[in-house]
Amino acid sequence: MIDIKFLRENPEIVKENIKKKFQDHKLSLVDEVIELDKKSRELTLKGDELRASRNSLSSQIGTLMREGKKEEAEQIKSKVQQINAELMDNEKLEEEYGNKVKEIMMKIPNIIHESVPIGKDDSENVEIQRFGEPVVPSYEIPFHGEILENLGGIDFDSARRVAGNGFYYLMGDIARLHSAVLTYARDFMINKGFTYCIPPYMIRADVVTGVMSFEEMDAMMYKIEGEDLYLIGTSEHSMIGKFKGQILNKENLPYTMTSYSPCFRKEKGAHGLEERGVYRIHQFEKQEMIVVCEPEDSYKWYDKMWSYTVEFFRSMNIPVRTLECCSGDLADLKSKSCDVEAWSPRQQKYFEVGSCSNLTDAQARRLGIRIKGEKGNYYAHTLNNTVVAPPRMLIAILENNYQEDGSVIIPEVLRPYMGGTEKINPKNLK
């Protein structure tokens, strides 16, 4: 959510930003919110005047009563009662207009960074840099679901009977590899100075609307029936929510935290969820990183954060590239975002394995996360980035380490987390 004062003073900049995000249907919201804000401020001013008048009259009542002028005092009391009734109506309208302004402001996208390329959707994202040399072996690499089944590492059929498509049972060495990746990711981020955290896996509605747009909420979140709780789609949600309504001391900044959680997503609009794959699923686990910092430091942290994900993947010798997300591919709260993509030797192209975003003060405004300043409080900046989401990580490890005999070599950095295991063999190999 952007600053109402900024919108009020720069409506054309806000409209141009909406156009850059190809959301022209939201252009009318700018004029609508300006008009509502004007009425809201008029009501606030009127309320202040009514309170001042009431206070002035109320102070006269005691004097008149002491002077024995009871009739005049009663007349003033009657005026005070009228003012109270008028003030009550005014406050209701003030709240109504204030809520309408907030509701519309939450639909207007954050101002994108000047460096963001203009494009309609993810097909127009721009490659920034490649890390590592992509390799395509001379032998064929099967679909990752088939590799997992041949290694005895996954059971889709049982999961489908239990929960439907988009779920799976991980088994044996593959389940161990999955856990090894998460544990390595945890230690990797702790070594970067981040504080490890396991957050709540459910959050209230006011936190959900604080961390994402209504469109994202509808497409992603599972609601707990009968309760004001949602299952998190990523631990970023509850991690940023941790600071809701807080006034932070400058000396404690930045907050740099890495969190583990299961994640739950409806994947609304993702037609044809793979029955035998783990690329797009309803439930997975992830290691995340978040930063809450001073506004002037947020883009320094942005560059650090995505570079950590690149370094993490390269430590397992997996080729990756970074893509700058174009304007039309940015969620409404994001000012700038880049994806990290891993190399798929089977498809001979890159696929998304992580995303780093700077939301500037958009989440902080919604959640009331402020920094205590010498000349007044101001909003913090928030950032988030994927360290690793193991189901997609498994695809990258399997494909980039697949051997002609069907076995998979374990990346060296993961072997200590797997009791020294160096290779996973298919079921038909001993």
Give CA–CA dist 278/258, Å, rounded. 24
Predicted confidence (pLDDT) per residue in 134-186, tens digit: 999 999 999 999 999 999 999 999 999 999 888 999 999 999 999 999 999 99
- pLDDT, mean of residues 292-310: 98
47 and 195, same structural domain? no
Residue 375 pLDDT class (50, 70, 90 cuts): confident
How many distinct structural domains can be found in the chain? 2
Tell me if 19 is assigned to some domain.
yes
The better pLDDT of the pair 321, 69 is held by 321
137 and 95, same structural domain? no
127 and 93, same structural domain? no
Tell me if 46 is assigned to some domain.
yes
152 and 90, same structural domain? no
332 and 281, same structural domain? yes
Give CA–CA dist 365/359, Å, rounded. 11
Predicted confidence (pLDDT) per residue in 255-273, tens digit: 999 999 999 998 755 545 5
165 and 55, same structural domain? no
Residue 222 pLDDT class (50, 70, 90 cuts): very high
Residue 414, pLDDT score: 98
Tell me if 403 is assigned to some domain.
yes
**CATH code at 419?**
3.30.930.10
The average confidence (pLDDT) of the chain is 93
Question: Nearest to residue 294, comparing CAs of 370, 237, 240?
Answer: 370
- In the chain, the percentage of residues whose pLDDT exceeds 90 is 83
Predicted confidence (pLDDT) per residue in 190-219, tens digit: 999 999 999 999 999 999 999 988 788 888
Predicted confidence (pLDDT) per residue in 123-133, tens digit: 999 999 999 99
First-to-last C-alpha distance (Å) of the chain? 58
Among 51, 74, 105, where does a domain finish?
Answer: 105
169 and 41, same structural domain? no
Per DSSP, the three-state class of 355 is strand
Domain that holds residue 48: 4-105
Tell me if 114 is assigned to some domain.
no
Among 105, 135, 155, where does a domain finish?
Answer: 105
DSSP lists the bridge partners of residue 287 as 260, 388
Half-sphere exposure of 251 (CA within 13 A, CB side): 1
Which contacts of 189-195 are long-range, i.e. CB under 8 A and separated by 24 or more positions?
189/258, 189/287, 189/289, 189/308, 189/387, 190/258, 192/256, 192/308, 193/256, 194/256, 194/257, 194/258, 194/289, 195/255, 195/256, 195/257, 195/258
Sheet strand arrangement including 195-197: 126-131, 320-324, 336-344, 349-358, 381-388, 283-293, 255-264, 195-197
* pLDDT exceeds cutoff 90 at 60: no
Tell me if 190 is assigned to some domain.
yes
Tell me if 113 is assigned to some domain.
no
User: What are the φ/ψ torsions at residue 263 (nearest 5 degrees)?
Assistant: -130, 145
349 and 268, same structural domain? yes
Residue 386 pLDDT class (50, 70, 90 cuts): very high
The dihedral sign for the CA sequence 3, 8, 13, 19: positive
Beta-strand pair 381-388/283-293: antiparallel
310 and 335, same structural domain? yes
* pLDDT exceeds cutoff 90 at 70: no
Residue 33, pLDDT score: 95
Residue 77, pLDDT score: 87
306 and 248, same structural domain? yes
Residue 268, pLDDT score: 58
224 and 195, same structural domain? yes
* pLDDT exceeds cutoff 60 at 392: yes
- pLDDT, mean of residues 301-316: 98
Tell me if 430 is assigned to some domain.
no
Residue 274 pLDDT class (50, 70, 90 cuts): low
Cα separations in angstroms, 173 against 154, 305, 316:
10, 30, 18
Helix (H) or strand (E) run with residue 293 in it: strand 283-293
Among 105, 132, 156, where does a domain finish?
Answer: 105
Which of 47-51, 95-99, 396-400 tops mean pLDDT? 396-400
DSSP lists the bridge partners of residue 415 as none
- pLDDT, mean of residues 78-86: 90
* pLDDT exceeds cutoff 90 at 428: no
Q: How far is CA 342 from the centre of its chain?
A: 21
Tell me if 429 is assigned to some domain.
no
**CATH code at 19?**
1.10.287.40
Residue 152, pLDDT score: 95
Residue 32, pLDDT score: 96
318 and 223, same structural domain? yes
Q: Are 264 and 303 in contact (CB under 8 A)?
A: no
Residue 120, pLDDT score: 96
